[in-house]
Each structure stands twice: as C-alpha cells, then as structure tokens.
Amino acid sequence: MFYEPGHDRELIEIITLPQLSDQRIQSIEDGNVSVHCRAAGKLALGHFCFCGLGLYPMLFPFGHPCPEELYLRHFYLQFGFDNFFLRFIGRYGIIAFINKGGATMNEYDNAVKQWREWKVRTAADLDLRLDSFRILFAFNSGKIENPDVTYHDTREIFENGKVVSYTGSTRTLFEQQNQKTCYEFLREKIAAREPLSVPLILGIHRVLTEGTYDERRYVANGERPGEFKKHDYVTGVNEVGSQPDEVENDLAELLEEVNSIGSKDPLKAGAYFHARIENIHPFADGNGRVGRTLLNYWLMINDYPPMIIYDEDKSVYYATLQKYDEQETLGDLVNFFEAQTVKTWERSMEFSQNEGHERKGLSFFML
C-alpha cells in the first residue's frame, strides 16, 4: 500500500498488475519518461485507467481490463490537493501509483532496514557496501552538471587510477578523480560519525573542486577550492544565494539547526539541509556536488542508506529544489529522495529477499 506524506499517510488506490511481461523505456525528454509496456493483467486506479496514446484519464469500471498496450508518463496531475507524479514501477508487479514521485512505505522502510542490518560501522564496512555505489554516485553526481562525464571513465579512475586514450577535457578527469579522493577523505569520518561542521564542508569542497576552477573564477575573481565565494553567484530561475559576506553565518546557523535535530527524522532533515545549502549557494563552483555528498554523509552518520540522484531524473530533482525556493515546502523533495533511495538499492533488496530461494538445477530443465 502507498501513503501520501502530508495527508496523514492517507492510503491511495493504486494501479496493480499481477504479471508484467515486458517493459522498456521509449524516450526520455526533459525528465518525462515515456514507458511502453505490455499489460498481462487487470489495471485500475479507483474508477480510472490511464491508457491509450494520450495522457487523458478514461472511465472504466473498477478492475476492468485495460487495452494491452499502455503508455504511462511521468507528468503532473491535479487531484484537488496538489500536483502528483504518475510513477512507473513494474519490477514489483505494480504499474504505477500516484504519490508525488515517492516510494511505498514498505519499499523505503525495507531499504533503511537492509542498511541497518548490514551494521555498517567501520571504514572497511563502507568499502564493502559502497563498492559499486561510489562509482555510480560519482558518475551521476558529476554528469548532472557536466555532460562530458562518462561511466566508463569514472569506473577506470576508481578501479585503475587512470583513463586510457582519453581525448576530452582535463577538468572532467579532475572532477571524477576528486570524487574518488573525496570518498577516501570521508570514509573514516563517516565511520566515526563525525558531525557536520563548517571545516568539514570546506574540506569536502576543497577535495571535490581541486584543479577544476576556470580562469575567470580562479584568476579574475580570486576564488579558491575550500573557500567560500568572494563574489555573488546566484543560481536557479529565482536567483537565490546568500551574499558572500553572509555565507558563513548562514551556514553556521543551518548546521546548528540540523545537528540539533539529530536522528529524529534523518531523511526529512537531510532534505531540508540539502535544499537550504543549495539555496545558500556558498561556493563559486561545485555547490551541487558538495550538496549531494553532504546529503549522503548526513544520512550515513545517522545510519540511513545513502542515495544516488540519477542524472536521468535531474529535471525532477531541479523542480523539487525550485519548489522549495519558491514555496519553502519539502514534501516533493522528501518523496523524490525516497524514490531515489529505493532505485539505488532495489537490486540489493531483491537479492536479500531471494537469499533463501533454492536455485533450480540443470535436471529441472532437462525434464
């Protein structure tokens, strides 16, 4: 069952699918994911089914079989109380649900439960559990702002410390090497549960942006890795960002506020922290990479699973941050982070659930 945070966890009817025979992504345009699937069962959302080639709800009796070919799309619907996302998750026998792009209570709770069962306490534990994660995180976090970042190059840097036959920008290589260095910089601090602090944030920024500042920022403006911005660099359509002389004070107040919350609700506090630090925009460059790294740092020191914010979902990511800038609401961002966490760890959760399953031997297939 699904819940809607902000509405007393009201249960929402969902479209269910007993079996999914095929699914494939048809197109990704501006963050709108068109999904083409074959329905091998009955679909219903209350008394509405979303079917056909358009985005128009069509009336069907509850449980009425829909046409075999369905097109579902991430888009906003007005349901009387807010805009909601239509989300596609076929892997779990569910075609779609309406929940602001969030995950099911069960799915997200399972991700948290799995992380805690792993008992990640030491730097060696982190290396074990984040072996593949850290490469995918570095790739996606870098690519969100730099289209030249590739998974192949990122993996080569993490695994071999070099890239062969590279002809692209040296800045891109520095950025991804810095991602690897940043993980090494933080692993012991995470294990020690070192709290958030201004020196920690400056250290993360220094490591992530070393050698990546362009000539205008470095030479003309005197900006440096590991230092707060000296000039006004606004961001987003609403041109947010603290003034340079206000950054340190704004950041110190934010850290005091977040650290005082502790482990009461790490995900919600993390969403607030991330939205606010992006709003403050404390550095001349690298704010996004620093903010996403800090989000995961905060989650892990509170024994919550880190997440990958996927490049393919960046339009939704930016929209949720913009909504915070405009309305100071966190619901969409929290739900987006839940969904990204489930997406990050879904394969691990499937493996855990199937650990006790006895694999079929060759004799079974020879019958």
Contact 108, 100 (CB under 8 A): no
Q: How far is CA 1 from the centre of its chain?
A: 22
Helix (H) or strand (E) holding 34: strand 32-39
For the whole prediction, is pTM greater than 0.95?
no
Q: What is the pLDDT of residues 218-240, one digit of tens each?
A: 888 889 999 999 988 766 556 67
Q: What is the pLDDT of residues 97-123, one digit of tens each?
A: 333 344 545 789 999 999 999 999 999
In the predicted model, is pLDDT for residue 4 greater than 80? no
Task: Calculate mean pLDDT across residues 311-336.
Answer: 94
pLDDT band at residue 195 under the 50/70/90 scheme: very high
Rounded Cα gap, residues 215 and 199, in angstroms: 26
pLDDT band at residue 358 under the 50/70/90 scheme: low
What is the reported pLDDT for 21?
A: 33
What is the reported pLDDT for 239?
A: 62
Helix (H, G, I), strand (E, B) or coil at 73: strand
Contact 142, 173 (CB under 8 A): no
Two tokens, residue 280 = 């403050």
Q: What is the pLDDT of residues 119-154, one digit of tens each?
A: 999 999 999 999 999 999 999 999 999 999 999 999
Task: Calculate mean pLDDT across residues 262-275.
Answer: 92
Rounded Cα gap, residues 96 and 88, in angstroms: 4
Which comes out higher in pLDDT, residue 114 or 28? 114
Q: What is the pLDDT of residues 241-257, one digit of tens each?
A: 889 999 999 999 999 99
Which comes out higher in pLDDT, residue 61 or 291? 291
- Between 170-191 and 287-301, two packed helices, what is the crossing angle to 10 degrees? 20
Q: How far is CA 308 from the centre of its chain?
A: 4
Share of the chain above pLDDT 70, in %: 65
Q: Find the range with the poorest average confidence among 6-15, 96-105, 122-131, 278-287.
A: 6-15
Q: How far is CA 53 from the centre of its chain?
A: 29
What is the reported pLDDT for 238?
A: 63
What is the reported pLDDT for 38?
A: 28
- Chain position carrying tokens 């074959």: 38
pLDDT band at residue 262 under the 50/70/90 scheme: confident
In the predicted model, is pLDDT for residue 176 greater than 60? yes
Residue spans per domain, the chain: 2-101, 119-344
pLDDT band at residue 215 under the 50/70/90 scheme: confident
Which residues on adjacent β-strands are paired with residue 96?
Answer: 15, 88
In the predicted model, is pLDDT for residue 333 greater than 90? yes
Rounded Cα gap, residues 100 and 97, in angstroms: 9
Which comes out higher in pLDDT, residue 325 or 36? 325
Rounded Cα gap, residues 262 and 253, in angstroms: 15
Two tokens, residue 333 = 């961002």
In the predicted model, is pLDDT for residue 320 greater than 90? yes
In the predicted model, is pLDDT for residue 164 greater than 70? yes
Residue 31 corresponds to which amino acid?
Answer: G
Q: Which CATH architecture has domain 119-344?
A: Orthogonal Bundle (1.10)
What is the reported pLDDT for 349?
A: 65
Q: What is the pLDDT of residues 63-90, one digit of tens each?
A: 333 333 232 323 223 332 233 333 333 3
If 0-12 CB within 10 Å is exposed, 13-18 middle and 19+ buried, where does residue 11 land?
A: exposed
In the predicted model, is pLDDT for residue 157 greater than 80? yes
Task: Calculate mean pLDDT across residues 267-279.
Answer: 96
Contact 263, 302 (CB under 8 A): yes
- Supply the mean pLDDT for the chain: 74
Which comes out higher in pLDDT, residue 360 or 294? 294
**To 5 degrees, how large is the angle CA 291–CA 3–CA 356?**
85
Contact 308, 336 (CB under 8 A): no
**262: which DSSP letter?**
T
In the predicted model, is pLDDT for residue 278 greater than 70? yes
Q: How far is CA 210 from the centre of its chain?
A: 24
| DSSP per position, 144-189 | TT-TT--HHHHHHHHHHS--TT--S-HHHHHHHHHHHHHHHHHHHH
